[in-house]
Structure 1
Amino acid sequence: MTGREGRDGGDVFAGTLAELTWHEVDRAARSGAVLLWAFGVIEQHGPHLPTGTDVYLPGARLRAVRELLAERGVEALIVPPYYWGVNVVSGAFPASYSVRPELIREVMVDLLGGMARDGFRHVFCFSGHGDALHNRTVHDGIRSACERTAANASFVTEPALARRIGLDLDDPYLTLSGPDEPPPDGPVDVHAGNWETSLMMHTNPDLVREEVRARLEPSGLGPRELAVWRRGFEHARRVTPDGYLGDPAAADAGEGHRIHASTAEQAADAIVHRLQGAA
């Protein structure tokens, strides 16, 4: 595998199969490599984070997952990220673009079918975006591709998100990653807040507007406001007029490193477990 690793700024192709020749991709497929594919969006992330946050973060995660899989004897290639997704919550903000779910599903069917024709026997799909309809669409695309083509794909996600989008935890198209934890107590932090900003400070620090971040007040909102926010469009913009829900000023690069390492480890473990079950 060639390509640049680590903190690569804005290059979303870094470390992906876009940097390889077709000979190298073909050789990887023939040797049994798996594919890792992230689904993000271009979406507002408050006044301090770039609109590509949901693309940069899963990209960094997949590079870490690939390294961990290699340590476990599993070769993996990273597919360039898909970043024209579904935006309901941020739909009323500028620079939050959305594609109809049925179009995303059909694109996924075509591309996953092509990956299967290349000989890749497993594709593990990840989401970098919390919007419920976006994630249901990713799952629907995986299911449709597996039903209509020779694809063998699954959605790597935590149990809480699977439940939130209405999926059974024994769904055959899910690869569950991480513990089944209850939601934390206290103010809600779900979008461009502490944890997401911490991750960006670790993976892409040059893209964080530090002079803005440090001055932001915590939103201090709870589950009731979160329910309104998740209705999306004008509801979300009314609840969070600056576009963030959480406490970005409390973010810390060290915490971002911890979250990044933990979630990558959980995902690698989940993938190995599924591959062992398929053997």
Structure 2
Amino acid sequence: MGLKKKPTVPIEQLLTSLRVLVEDNEDIVKSGIDINDAFLLGFLIGRKYNLTTAYETIQKYVDVRKRKYVHIFSTFLPESFLYLYDQPKFMAVLKHREKNTGCIVGLLRPSRDQRAIRRPFEDVLGVCALASDQLLYMEDAIENGGIMVISGEGCEFSHIKEITPTRLKMALDIFYQAYPISVKQIHIVQCSLIFNTVVTLLKTLLPRKLRKRIVIHRTLETFHEIFDPSVLPSWLGGNRLEEQDWEVLDNYFERVFLDKADYYDKLAQ
């Protein structure tokens, strides 16, 4: 892990300057978003203490929520996504950070029964947005970035058709442009031939920097060279029974979503 960038001016001064910019922006002030110091600090750290870039990212964060994709974000309510956390979890976060980088690790496991998900792409987008909101308040996640592990096991055409170029652009607009959390790596495992082919095609639509961070594992053995089975759930080759998967998964996010349900209800209006 490389040396972390340090601010060249006191962080308190940067926070004050960023708050002045934010409070002078009517769109941000009227957005209903809780612009507290911890929120602002997340953008400053994530944007390497560059005041201008941090402010521009906050503007994009407000824009995607309140203007560009308001039809999506108006339905992003925590209680709407709880069914995705039923076992086996569609999305989860590991308790353990990646050993070499300290990155937080998120897991996506497409449901074999696509009919069990109300709105496959939008609901997954919603869960990821809610999780990203909480990552803003986790200093190690902001400083070190995140790693996503995507399983292609059981992936069929019903899954693939959800990922259209328009939807992919929307996901990039939100997570790549409007959040200050850096995606350090994307590991794709248990790929079927069709899933591997589609991923190869979709990669051409991604920014070059992000394309270079995608790693496709032909076998779990190469994946386990990076992630020790002792910190993984059973479906990723972890050395545990399926009913013991909860031991390596972090339930913090589900709890905090529900604690902030009233805030998200108001924000969606």
TM (normalized to structure 1)?
Answer: 0.31
Structure with more helix by fraction: 2
For normalisation by structure 2, the TM-score amounts to 0.32
